[in-house]
Structures are given as C-alpha cells and as structure tokens.
Amino acid sequence: MSTKSFPFILVSGPKVDDPRARRIIRKQAMKDVGEARKKRGNYGRVNMRQMPLFEDTNVQIRPVVRPHSSRESSATLDLTKANSSDSTSDTDPTVYDDEALRTGCKAVNVALLHEGSSGVSLAAINLFSNYETARAKFKVDLADLSILTNFNVGKSTIPILSADPTRLAGLLGQQQWSYLQYVPSIYGTSEVITAATNCLLAKAKTTLIPNYSCKELNLKLYAKALRSLQSAISNEETCGEADVLCATQLMSLHELLDPSRDTAWSHHISGSARLIRHRTPHRFVSEFEKALFAAHIGPIVSECLVNNTPCYLEGEEWSALYRSLTQESDFLHDRSALTINARLMMFPLPGLWHDVGEAITGPELFNDHALSLLEQRCRTAHRGFIDWMEDYKAHCVRLSLALPPPKELALRRELFGSALECLAIVKRLLAAVCDQQRMSLEKETQALAHLILDLQKQPSPKHSWLFSGHEVGVAYTVMLTKAQWEEQNAYSSDEERRMAVRIRYNAWSNTLRMTG
C-alpha cells in the first residue's frame, strides 16, 4: 500500500519552480474553501453578496438608457457594418461574438450621478440587459420597426417589400407610438415574447443587410416561436394574456417580411382578432395592452375590406375602447382626437360596403325599403367624413402661424388621403342605392379622384408608400368606371334600370377589390 504524500505550503517559503507542484499546492489550498461552499449551497455561483467598492461612497450608478426604451439611445446600431464574421455566431441564437458584445455595450451609457446617497443597487450595475444582447446580435432595434405597426400596413405591403426589400431601410427611424416600445422590458421574462422577438429580429436582419443570409437559423427561430405561441394559445390559463397577443402580433410582422407564405399574415391577423375578442374590451387597461389593441386596428379593417366582411370593431364597446386612447397635445399625433376620429369612421365601412353589395347583387335590389335603410346608413357615413374634413381644416388653420414638426405634416398627409379615398367609396355606395342622385354624386367623386392624384405630386414622407398605393387604386378605379356611372340611358322599365345599377356597381366594386 503506497503512502500518499501531502505537500506543505509555507507562507514565507521559496517559490516552487515546478509548475505541476504549484498546481497541486493551489488545489490543496482551495480544497477546504470548496468544501465550505458546497455546504453553504452556493458552490459555483458568483459572489452576489460583495458590493463594489468606490472611493466616494456618495456616488450612485444608474443606467442612462432604460432597458425598455432602447430607442432613446443615441447609439443606433449601424446595419451597414455587418461582415462575414457574423455567420459563425449566427448559427446559434445563444452565442454572440465579441464584436456584437462590444457593439451592444456602446448602446448603454452609464453616468455617475451625485445625489448624496451611498446606495448602489445591483439592478443599476447590470448594464447589459437581455434585450440589448439580442439587439447587439441581430443588429436591429425593435423601436426602428415601429412604423410596421402603422394603421395603413396591410396585406398589400407584403408584395411591395418583397419586390424591393430596401424599402424597409427607409422605414427605420420613422418611429411612432407602438407596443414595440414595451417589448424590451419584457424580453427574457416571457418565453413566448422572447421567441417571437428573436424570430422577428433575425428576419429583419436578413431583409436589411444585403447579401446576408442565414436560412437555417431563421427557420429554427421561426419554428421555436410558433411552438411557443401555439403552446401558450392552447393553454386556457395563458391564452388571454397580453404576452400571447403581443407574440401573435410580432409574428404577423415577421410575415410581412416573408412573402413565401402568402396566407400566413392573414392567419396571424385573424388569430389576433380572436384573442382580442376573447379578452373583451374591459381587459385592455395598461398602456401596453392599449398599444396592442391600437396596432390591431389597421390590419383588421384592411382584412375586412379585402375579404368583404363586416368588422367587429364597429360595436359600441370596441369603438369606445379606441376612443379612450385619445391624448391631446399641441400637435397632431397617433392618439390625437382628430386621428382617432378619422379611423373610427372606417370601422363601419367594411360592413356598409358588404351590405350594399348584398342588396345590389341580391333580391333586395327590388326592395325599396331595404334600399332606403341602406341610403340612411350611407348618408350617416358621408356626413361623418364631411364633418371630419371641416375639423381637419380647422386644425390646419389653428396652426397656420406655427411651424409643425415633420411628424405632424406626415400624419396630416396620411389622414387627409385616407379620408379622401374613404369618402370616394362612400359616395359610390350612396349613388348605388340612391340612383336619382347618381349624376351629382359622380361629379363629386371624380373631383375627389383628381384631388387624390394631385396629392401624389406633393412632397410626402418616406413611408408614404404604405398608404399612397391604396389612394391611387381608389382614384384610378373611379376614373376607369366614370363612363358607366355617368350614363343617362332611357330604360324601358324599372327592372331594366335596376339591373343597370347592378352591372354598374359590380364593374366598380370588383375592379377595386382586385386592386386591393
């Protein structure tokens, strides 16, 4: 039996030359320390009890950039500086290269604020949040994508971005109030939001950076996000949570950037609608929840118009919820009363168009009472848009001596164009159910079409292509069908006259839906 030798450590002894002996000495010296840590239960953990020592105990450290508001940071990641080294780190979403870490560190600035307090919190020392890590890896900030939650973003956006992906770069920095500003503070604490965010950021990076592709990683993140979302939706306890609705909307943004699945965007929008209706209006209380609801408004109205189905938002409770988002200020913004009212008037439009179409193409074409009821609804919508135009003019006059910021001017252009195209549609619907006023209404409709085309010649914001396509489509369709709506034929019978109304309506409505 061999005897074990124990090397002794002499504090004042000479340094041992043999590196193997020094390693044995260090191992022996730390043996008791390791045993003690195991007994305490914190073996292998960072010493969280020891606070940093500062020469000046009155110094308090706080991050200047809040983790949930990374858009306020002046250091925006340069998307044009991607290089070939990204491909190695992008094979695994949890591995980040040194360059990404350095870039992310630059996005978080720290200031020493002398406040006469010696307290230093660990949260303040944690300068590199989970979201900033992901932001550094993918080189995309969610705040820069907030314009994708604009009211005018719809199915028609997908082919435009697919034909020219560089358009997305022009949207960066065109920020607006959006639920995306709340996601960074939730990232890392919600599995479903974290997975959906990674999926969206990876796809945005692929779209923004030329010649960059990581299809395997994108598919991996996409599959993970869908599994996480499906699991949350299938759970009765979690399906009504705001996190699940947020993840669903994040995935719909991903589908905007991926034309390979042409129906996926519509599926996510209809899924969002079911989740929102399941929650009921009373559960949208926090600013985050209200922002989620606001981002859903445009896409669902667009889908209902394209699919010729009534929109559930025209219900009084949902309209009241949207109206409650109003926040007044000196200049126009997404939550101004003028903005909210313009979009509120669009809620009944899909249902009105659907019902007029059902009547004109069905047996109610010969029912004067049914047509009279539809005429009343059309006149109510018509009056609403006319009144809004007056409010819009009053707003512009009130600020005529001021210098409105670019955001106000961009929103003015967007709202005015939307009101013009909606008014043109309403005038055509009214003329369809009130044939005796068709000629006078058609003159007004043609004037609106020319005004819409004149708008396209004026300076417009970078993101104007999100809504100008709708406007031009409505204007050209009105002008294309002008002759049919101005005809004054002598009909041999009332039935022949009504059948002409049907032919005229179908020629216009079917053409317009094809352009949408």
pLDDT tens digits, 29-63: 666 666 666 665 554 544 444 444 444 444 443 33
pLDDT at 225: 97
137: pLDDT confidence band, cut at 50, 70 and 90?
very high
- Can you state the percent helix, strand and coil of the chain, rounding each to 5? 65, 0, 30
6 pLDDT higher than 60: no
| Higher per-residue pLDDT: 260 or 442 | 442
1 pLDDT higher than 50: no
252 pLDDT higher than 80: yes
Instruction: Give me the count of residues in the chain.
Output: 516
pLDDT tens digits, 488-507: 878 889 999 999 999 999 99
pLDDT tens digits, 473-483: 999 999 999 99
Mean pLDDT of 355-372: 97
Name 190's bridge partners: 187
Question: What is the pLDDT of the chain when averaged over all its residues?
Answer: 82
428 pLDDT higher than 90: yes
Place of tokens 């999100």: 466
| Strand residue runs (E) in 81-194 | 110-114
Name the residue ranges covered by the structural domains of the chain. 1-49, 51-285
CA 230 to CA 227: how far, in whole Å?
5
262: pLDDT confidence band, cut at 50, 70 and 90?
confident
Nearest to 468 by CA among 147, 172, 156, 146: 156
Q: Cα(first)–Cα(last) distance of the chain, in Å?
A: 90
DSSP string, 172-240: TT---S-GGGGHHHHBTTBHHHHHHHHHHHHHHHHHHSTT---HHHHHHHHHHHHHHHHHHHH-TTTTT
CA 157 to CA 306: how far, in whole Å?
13
pLDDT tens digits, 269-305: 999 999 999 999 999 999 999 999 999 999 999 999 9
pLDDT tens digits, 382-425: 999 999 999 999 999 999 998 999 999 999 999 999 999 999 99
pLDDT at 259: 84
CA 274 to CA 264: how far, in whole Å?
15
pLDDT at 129: 75
pLDDT tens digits, 142-189: 999 999 999 999 988 999 998 998 899 888 878 899 999 999 999 999
Q: Which region among 87-91, 141-145, 308-312, 442-446 has the lowest average model confidence (pLDDT)? A: 87-91
Whether residue 103 contacts residue 82, with contact meaning beta carbons closer than 8 Å, is answered with no
Whether residue 256 contacts residue 148, with contact meaning beta carbons closer than 8 Å, is answered with yes
CB atoms within 10 A of CB 107: 20
Mean pLDDT of 88-112: 37
List, as own/partner pairs, every contact residues 49-52 make where C-beta atoms lie below 8 angstroms and the sequence separation is at least 24, other chains included.
Answer: 51/120, 52/120, 52/125
Mean pLDDT of 414-441: 97
pLDDT at 492: 83
Mean pLDDT of 450-469: 93
Percent of the chain whose pLDDT exceeds 90: 64
513 pLDDT higher than 70: yes
CA 61 to CA 114: how far, in whole Å?
9
Phi, psi (deg, nearest 5) at residue 505: -65, -45
